[in-house]
Amino acid sequence: MKIALAGGGAFGEKHLDGLKNIAGVEVTALVGRRLEPTQAMADKYGVGFATTDYEAMLERDDVDAVILCTPTQMHADQAIKAMNAGKHVEVEIPLADSWADAQAVMDKQKETGLVCMVGHTRRFNPSHQYVHNRIKAGEFNIQQMDVQTFFFRRENMNANGQPRSWTDHLLWHHAAHTVDLFAYQAGPIVQANAIQGPINPDLGIAMDMSIQLKSESGAICTLSLSFNNDGPLGTFFRYIGDTDTYIARYDDLVNGREEAIDVSDVDVSMNGIELQDREFIAAIREGREPNSSVAQVLPCYKVLHDLDKQLG
Q: What's the confidence (pLDDT) of residue 312? A: 86
Q: What is the pLDDT of residues 138-174, one digit of tens each?
A: 999 999 999 999 998 776 655 556 665 556 889 999 9
Beta carbons within 10 angstroms of residue 20's beta carbon: 13
Confidence band of 10 (pLDDT split at 50, 70, 90): confident
Q: In what order do the strands lie in the sheet with 220-226?
A: 189-196, 208-215, 220-226, 142-150, 234-241, 245-249, 252-255
Average pLDDT over the chain, rounded to an integer = 95
Per-residue confidence (pLDDT) for residue 4, from 0 to 100? 98
Edge-first strand listing for the sheet containing 50-51: 50-51, 26-31, 2-6, 65-68, 88-92, 116-119
- pLDDT range class, residue 232, cuts 50, 70, 90: confident
Report the DSSP pairing between strands 142-150 and 234-241. Answer: antiparallel
Q: What's the residue count for the chain?
A: 312
> Do 277 and 19 touch, CB atoms closer than 8 A?
yes
What stretch of H or E contains 17?
helix 10-19
Q: Check residue 218 and give its pLDDT.
A: 98
pLDDT value of residue 162: 62
CA distances from 22 to 14, 25, 26, 27, 187 (A): 13, 6, 9, 11, 32
Q: What is the pTM of this model?
A: 0.94
**Helices within 167-292 (DSSP H only):** 176-186, 272-286
Mapped onto helix, strand or coil, the DSSP state of residue 160 is coil
pLDDT at 224 over 90: yes
Backbone φ and ψ of 59, nearest 5°: -80, -10
176-186 vs 126-136: helix crossing angle, rounded to 10: 30
The per-residue pLDDT for range 189-221, each reduced to its tens digit, is: 999 999 999 999 988 889 999 999 999 999 999
CB 145 within 8 A of CB 186: yes
Phi and psi based region of residue 46 (left: phi greater than 0; alpha: psi -120 to 50; beta: remaining): left
242/108 Cα distance (integer angstroms): 41
275 pLDDT higher than 60: yes
Reported confidence tier of residue 109, pLDDT bands at 50, 70, 90: very high
State mean pLDDT over 118-123.
98
In the DSSP assignment, the letter for residue 149 is: E
CA–CA dist 47, 208 (Å, integer): 39
Q: What is the mean pLDDT of residues 117-145?
A: 98
Domain ranges of the chain: 2-120+273-290, 125-266
Tell me the one-letter amino acid at 303.
V
Query: Where on the phi/psi map is residue 155: left (φ > 0), alpha (ψ -120 to 50), or beta?
Result: beta
**CATH of the domain spanning 2-120+273-290:** 3.40.50.720
pLDDT for residue 246 is more than 80: yes
Calculate mean pLDDT across residues 277-284: 98
Instruction: Quote the pLDDT of residue 101.
Output: 98
pLDDT higher than threshold 70 for residue 294: yes
First to last CA, the chain: 44
CA angle 69, 72, 73 (to 5 degrees): 130
Amino acid at 21: N
Give me the percent of the chain exceeding a pLDDT of 90: 89
- The pLDDT-based confidence of 36 (bands split at 50, 70, 90) is very high
The superfamily (CATH) of domain 125-266 is Dihydrodipicolinate Reductase; domain 2 (3.30.360.10)
SS3 292: coil
Helix, coil or strand: residue 226: strand
